[in-house]
A and B are shown apart, each in its own frame.
Chain A
Amino acid sequence: MDFALLFDHFFEYTITGLALGSIYALIALGYTMVYGVLQLINFAHSEVFMFGTFAVVWVLFAFHATPASSTAAVIGYLAVALVVAMAVSGGIALLLERVAYRPLINRNAPKLVALISAIGASFVLSEAMGLRDEIAKKLHIDGGIGRYIAKARETSSIPIDINPKTLFTVGDYGVTTIDLLLIGAALVMMLLLDQFIRRSRLGRGIRAVAQDPEAAALMGVNATRVIQTTFLIGGMMAGAAATLYMVKIGTTRFNAGFILGVKAFTAAVLGGIGNLRGALLGGLVLGVAENWGSAVFGSEWKDVVAFVLLVLVLLFRPTGLLGESLGKARA
């Protein structure tokens, strides 16, 4: 135990923890929204995120970005990458809903079965990415895309260097542009989404289905459409998270989604699953707790700290920090 390290670098650990937590929070949204509407653990959501990270890498490849690219160009590329990643992740999430969930929802199958279907879908998606070279070969489209499918089982990294600038210092830690970008983007997106759920017509539909699917159907809410929207929004947020993640970390793998998915799901439960603000709070708390834990106990214990925190919170607040329910998010 080494509290001195934490106290000496308190702001560094806290701010980088918040930045990490922002990514968790954005992924957690996908879990929490689907749970709010369907009461299902969308196990394959981590793969939706993973596809987003690859979309970012491929967009940068397509622009022939190099470490020598100018800053303005890099920002432009990343903006395009953000849009593409959101589209790709949203698309994968919709596909997932169509293939793995809708047949089960229509048949009113037990929840656990939907979980198994999602686990299957998760394997399929991550393996499809891990086998992309083989698949391309089978389809005879491996001619011009060698760079995109090379070393499918290994780590892919973005072809640019991102050198964060220090903007200002808090305590003794220089806050970088990346930290600010991550935290700011997460906050803005959460705010927009929160307003969307509260004020828009579709948002009202989502809340109605979350509260009482039958009554919502009787009132003329198209449940299938609401579910699709939920998956789409969750997927797009995962795409945004993927872009931020690639800016911060820079590398991805076909199985990179799994551990982040577990963390994000933990964050969602921590904040109160089904609750949008809970996802944000849970993500940030988890990110900070992990960083503090790694300072005090050593970095190999940070996941233990995260899970112990989760267990403790659930023991004293069995429905998470902010309580559950998307439906009851006040209008």
Chain B
Amino acid sequence: MTRLPSLSFGGRVDALPKWSKVLLWILLALFFYALPLLELPVIKTPDTDFAGVLFTVAIYCLVALGLNIVVGYAGLLDLGYVGFYAVGAYTVGVLTAAHASWPYLLVIPVAVIVAMISGVILGAPTLRVRGDYLAIVTLGFGEIIRLVITNLSWLGGARGISGIPGPPSVPANNADGTVTDPLFEIPHLVWQNGQPLVDLDNKTKFLKFGVIDAVPYYWFALSIIILVLIADILIKDSRVGRAWEATREDEDAAELMGVPTFKFKLLAFAMGAFIGGLSGALFAGKQGFINPQSFQLLLSILFLAAVVVGGQGNRWGVLVGAALVVYLPERFRGFEEWRVLAFGIALMVLAIYRPEGVIPPRQKRRAKKMQQEIEALEEGALDDAEVTHG
């Protein structure tokens, strides 16, 4: 392990010429697009549909990116994030299946806006409440949403809403429901004794959103994640991102420096709700049915665990965290009943040995070093003072 920053992984990537950096990112994205087709033997989940697991991973990644804005960037502890996820999913359910039959793609923006409005409605009165109180207020909000959808028969009650359509297939299916031929098909790989072979019996139909094959949904979600990631990078490096950082580190100082902290906290909340609603809408489209069971408080806690385990404030970290939180229990489904226990132990071990997350944000690492330097300086200054007084 070398301590020179220029030789660290990030430093080496930064040092590459721009075209190769772009190429690297494109290759990485392609790898993730191809992941469900590769059927890699060790990574693949043995007992569940791998593409389905990947789709869930993608949903959690999206949620983690949204929650990261709230928790990681703005420093607001939100224990009710599942509320926004539910708002997004139920808006889709109501407008496509329960009370209207709008097309799915049109409903997504509506769902996102409804979730954002709910974020503002929750945030405007509660963001004046400090730290841990905010946590319990948001927890209460998440529970209120769940109980309301359980008790309102207009929203399907405990049975939920079924028959939610997914994204439209390209080319469109016939009106009588028969499936038209896809643009093209992509075969999966099959591994025999470490040799990859092309499996012509197992093909994914490009842009055909059916019931059995989850791969197109995964691609859809992955594309949205990439868009959100780009937006995330742009926002984080803008005035808004710096305002969030200032608010998180010291709210009073930020306010004195002329940062309207309340406005920016509300913005963080609304953006978090926006992405939460978006993931809920994707979830509803893939699942086809939703009920209150899918929006338990436990989910909020898992989302938060994903963000903190990955490294709050670092977008790549929270993606890794989200992937771990979903993937580990699925990969080890063989141990069925022991997996929650193992997950709990893993959370504790990670918290104790990697308190800053698997991939901590860069400025955190820098701040830590700076802190040590300042402490060393202060001790030196103290010694000097004692000498002059003595």
A interface size (C-beta, 8 A): 44
Chain B residues near A301: list those with CB within 8 A: 147, 151
Q: Given the complex of chains A and B, what is the CA–CA distance between A319 and B346 in angstroms?
A: 34
* In the complex, residue of chain B having the shortest beta-carbon distance to the beta carbon of A108: B355
Contact (Cβ within 8 A) A262 B309: no
Determine whether A167 belongs to the interface, using a CB cutoff of 8 Å to chain B: no
Contact (Cβ within 8 A) A120 B341: no
Chain A residues near B71: list those with CB within 8 A: 112
Report, as a range, how many residues of chain B touch the other chain: 35 or more
Contact (Cβ within 8 A) A262 B143: yes
Contact (Cβ within 8 A) B351 A113: yes
Q: Smallest distance from the beta carbon of B372 to chain A beta carbons, Å? A: 13
Option from A99, A125, A262, A308 in Cβ contact (under 8 Å) with B139: A262
* In the complex, residue of chain B having the shortest beta-carbon distance to the beta carbon of A259: B297
Chain B residues near A92: list those with CB within 8 A: none
Determine whether B375 belongs to the interface, using a CB cutoff of 8 Å to chain A: no
Q: Smallest distance from the beta carbon of A329 to chain B beta carbons, Å? A: 19
What is the 8 Å Cβ interface bit string for chain B, positions 332-375, against chain A (1 contact, 0 not)?
00000110110111111111100110000000000000000000
Q: Which of A173-181, A196-204, A310-318 contacts B (4 or more CB under 8 A)?
A: A310-318
Q: Given the complex of chains A and B, what is the CA–CA distance between A128 and B337 in angstroms?
A: 11
What is the 8 Å Cβ interface bit string for chain B, positions 109-148, against chain A (1 contact, 0 not)?
0000000000000000110111011011101110110011
Known A114-B351, A117-B347, A269-B136; contact A311-B141, beta-carbon cutoff 8 A: yes
What is the 8 Å Cβ interface bit string for chain A, positions 16-43, against chain B (1 contact, 0 not)?
0000000000000000000100010100
Contact (Cβ within 8 A) B136 A266: yes
Consensus secondary structure, chain B interface = helix
Determine whether A104 belongs to the interface, using a CB cutoff of 8 Å to chain B: yes
What is the 8 Å Cβ interface bit string for chain A, positions 88-120, against chain B (1 contact, 0 not)?
000000000001100110010110111111011
Determine whether A127 belongs to the interface, using a CB cutoff of 8 Å to chain B: yes
Chain B residues near A115: list those with CB within 8 A: 304, 308
Contact (Cβ within 8 A) A318 B128: yes
Q: Given the complex of chains A and B, what is the CA–CA distance between A1 and B340 in angstroms?
A: 41
Consensus secondary structure, chain A interface = helix
Chain B residues near A304: list those with CB within 8 A: 143-144, 147-148, 151
Chain B residues near A315: list those with CB within 8 A: 125-126, 128-129
Contact (Cβ within 8 A) A303 B147: yes
Option from A113, A125, A127 in Cβ contact (under 8 Å) with B308: A113
Chain A residues near B137: list those with CB within 8 A: 310-311, 314
Q: Smallest distance from the beta carbon of A144 to chain B beta carbons, Å? A: 23
Known A112-B312, A318-B129; contact A131-B147, beta-carbon cutoff 8 A: no
Contact (Cβ within 8 A) A273 B132: yes
Going nearest first, the 6 A-B pairs with the smallest beta carbon separation are A123-B344, A120-B347, A117-B351, A307-B140, A120-B348, A124-B344
Chain A interface (Cβ within 8 Å of chain B)?
A: 35, 39, 41, 99-100, 103-104, 107, 109-110, 112-117, 119-125, 127-128, 131, 134, 262, 265-266, 269, 273, 300-301, 303-304, 307-308, 310-311, 314-315, 318-319
Chain B interface (Cβ within 8 Å of chain A)?
A: 71, 77, 125-126, 128-130, 132-133, 135-137, 139-141, 143-144, 147-148, 150-151, 297, 301, 304-305, 308-309, 312, 337-338, 340-341, 343-352, 355-356
Given contacts A304-B143, A311-B125, 4 further A-B contacts (CB under 8 A): A114-B351, A117-B352, A311-B140, A315-B125
